[in-house]
Amino acid sequence: MRIAVTGQTGQLVSCLREGAAQWGVEIMSLGRPAVDLTRLETIGPALIAVRPDVIVSAAAYTAVDRAEGDAVTAFRVNGDAAGEIARAAKAMGVPLIHISTDYVFDGIGGAPYAETAETGPVSVYGRSKRAGEKAVQAVGNNHVILRTSWIFSAYGANFVRTMLMLARDRDEVRVVADQHGCPTNGMDIAAAVVTVAHQMLEHRDDYDRRGIFHFCGAGATDWASFADAVFDAQAEFIGVRPRVVRIATTDYPTAAVRPPDSRLDTTLIERTFGFRAPAWRDSLPDVVKQLLGEDMRGTYGR
């Protein structure tokens, strides 16, 4: 199976590439400068040239705080480009897996969120991702919209990497303890994407296997407890760790508002596609180890 994926260096596309041989799939990543999601005319021709069996729309404007001051670009990339990718997929007769986020919810009293729950994004990023979902839905129904949350991996920018970087020169890190959600290992969401892709191809006209599905790591947490788990793992490998000071959102001002509780309910994807979301705690130490290894090489040379 040949999968076209948008983005080149992002977490999910990198994880798909890492798992490709093991999962027996070919990953064709499409990124800048050839495919620039702010230039919609670059999208269709590039997708057609690749002749994919399935398209995965993974690239996005993911800088949540920066998006607050750059709404035009965020909506272009997360909203308009999503629609353009869906139109190309439809023209080619190829199923589409579009990746979305827990930040489409307001996080006030609805968690764990089912797919049918009402959305109510509270940030530019969340609103632009919701616009992308609607753009995909407007084109047709040969798609899966996979909402996930709090992705971490050995690649790209993510919370685990940020915490390890802060720990290099601090013995205390202050982290919000009143925002709850579900961390997701990038390799787990990549594996889920491949399984969904296989089943969409195998069951071409099965509309139970189409629509919105939630997938995230098993075991809800909050950002401070997540940081604690990262540093527990760090301590195992290098013997030292900073203290986590649990703070309130009001003590950590950011440009974007984040949902206080965006835990996702993954029952539907488990029932429909027959796989469970693995516990993020089980695989976190391995990612921490990879990131620490990279850091050591960067700091001390090979």
Ligand X SMILES: NC(=O)C1=CN([C@@H]2O[C@H](COP(=O)(O)OP(=O)(O)OC[C@H]3O[C@@H](n4cnc5c(N)ncnc54)[C@H](OP(=O)(O)O)[C@@H]3O)[C@@H](O)[C@H]2O)C=CC1
Q: Does 185 bind ligand TDO (CB under 6 A)?
A: no
Contact 193, 17 (CB under 8 A): no
Q: Does 89 bind ligand X (CB under 6 A)?
A: no
Contact 118, 133 (CB under 8 A): no
Q: Which is nearer to ligand X, 10 or 121 (CB)?
A: 10
Partner touching 31 among ligand TDO, ligand X, Mg ion, none, CB below 5 to 8 Å by kind? ligand X
d(CA 158, CA 128): 20
Q: Does 266 bind ligand X (CB under 6 A)?
A: no
Instruction: Please give the helix or strand (H or E) that residue 155 lies within, else none.
Output: none
Q: Which is nearer to ligand X, 17 or 174 (CB)?
A: 17
Q: Does 64 bind ligand TDO (CB under 6 A)?
A: yes
Catalytic position from the list 103, 125, 207, 300: 125
d(CA 161, CA 172): 16
Region class of 263: left (phi > 0), else alpha (psi between -120 and 50), else beta: beta
Partner touching 252 among ligand TDO, Mg ion, ligand X, none, CB below 5 to 8 Å by kind? ligand TDO
Q: Does 149 bind ligand TDO (CB under 6 A)?
A: yes
Residue 170 three-state SS? coil
Q: Does 290 bind ligand X (CB under 6 A)?
A: no
Q: Does 31 bind ligand X (CB under 6 A)?
A: yes
CB of 96 to ligand X, least distance (A): 13
142 Cβ partners below 8 Å, 6+ apart?
Answer: 89, 90, 93, 95, 96, 200, 210
Q: Does 175 bind ligand TDO (CB under 6 A)?
A: yes
Q: Tell which one of 39, 134, 245, 252 touches ligand TDO (CB under 6 A).
A: 252
Q: Does 13 bind ligand X (CB under 6 A)?
A: yes
> How many residues sit close enough to ligand TDO to count as binding (CB under 6 A)?
20
Concatenating the DSSP letter of every residue in 178-233 gives S-EE--EEHHHHHHHHHHHHHHHHHTTT-GGGSEEEE---BS-EEHHHHHHHHHHH
> How many residues sit close enough to Mg ion to count as binding (CB under 5 A)?
1
Give the phi and the psi of residue 123 in degrees, each rounded to 5: -140, 165
Q: Does 123 bind ligand X (CB under 6 A)?
A: no
Q: Tell which one of 2, 9, 91, 293 touches ligand X (CB under 6 A).
A: 9
Q: Where are the alpha helices (DSSP H) in 78-185?
A: 81-92, 124-139, 159-167
- Residue in 76, 233, 73 with CA at minimum distance from that of residue 167: 233
CB of 219 to ligand X, least distance (A): 16
Q: Does 101 bind ligand TDO (CB under 6 A)?
A: yes
The position carrying tokens 């925002």 is 179
Partner touching 257 among ligand TDO, Mg ion, ligand X, none, CB below 5 to 8 Å by kind? none
Tell me the window of 33-41, 161-169, 234-242, 250-258 that interacts with ligand X (CB under 6 A): 33-41
Q: Does 217 bind ligand X (CB under 6 A)?
A: no
Partner touching 58 among ligand X, ligand TDO, Mg ion, none, CB below 5 to 8 Å by kind? ligand X
d(CA 43, CA 88): 8
Give yes or no: 300 in active site: no
CB of 74 to Mg ion, least distance (A): 13
Report, as residue numbers or ranges, the catalytic residues. 125
